[in-house]
């Protein structure tokens, strides 16, 4: 069990590092080359991060795990709301 938890932590860190150092830079370069506004880039990033969640909820609902789907939707919305409020607080300082 401890080894599985350790693997989970390592894989999670790898995903975060890839997202931070590769995906964000790639999105910035793409936005600059296409001359996209910040709002458009934010919308694209929002859709890109929502698609995996949509697929997870859809597949779990289709396989009969409706409770899992509902919990995923509720928890992700609460987390997104907290992150949104935190970003507002940070941008005002």
Q: Indicate the average pLDDT of the chain.
A: 82
Joined tokens for residue 21? 């150092």
Q: Which of 36, 46, 29, 56 is nearest to 83 (CA)?
A: 46
Q: For 35, left (φ over 0), alpha (ψ -120 to 50), or beta?
A: left
pLDDT tens track for 7-43: 888 988 888 788 778 877 887 888 889 998 888 888 8
pLDDT tens track for 39-76: 888 888 778 777 877 888 888 888 888 888 788 878 88
Q: What is the pLDDT of residue 82?
A: 85
Joined tokens for residue 53? 């969640």
Is pTM beyond 0.85? Reply is no
Which DSSP category does 1 fall into? -
Joined tokens for residue 82? 């907290």
Per-position DSSP letters for 26-80, written without gaps between them: HHHHHHHHHT--HHHHHHHHHHHHHHHHHHHHHHHHHTT-HHHHHHHHHHHHHHH
Q: What is the pLDDT of residue 85?
A: 86
């Amino acid at each position: 069990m401890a080894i599985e938890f350790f693997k989970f932590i390592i894989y999670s860190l790898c995903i975060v590092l890839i997202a931070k150092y590769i995906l964000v830079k790639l999105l910035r370069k793409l936005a600059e080359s296409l001359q996209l506004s910040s709002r458009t880039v934010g919308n694209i990033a929002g859709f890109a991060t929502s698609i995996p969640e949509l697929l997870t909820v859809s597949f779990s609902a289709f396989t009969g795990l409706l409770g899992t789907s509902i919990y995923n939707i509720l928890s992700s919305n609460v987390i997104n709301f907290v992150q949104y409020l935190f970003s507002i607080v940070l941008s005002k300082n």
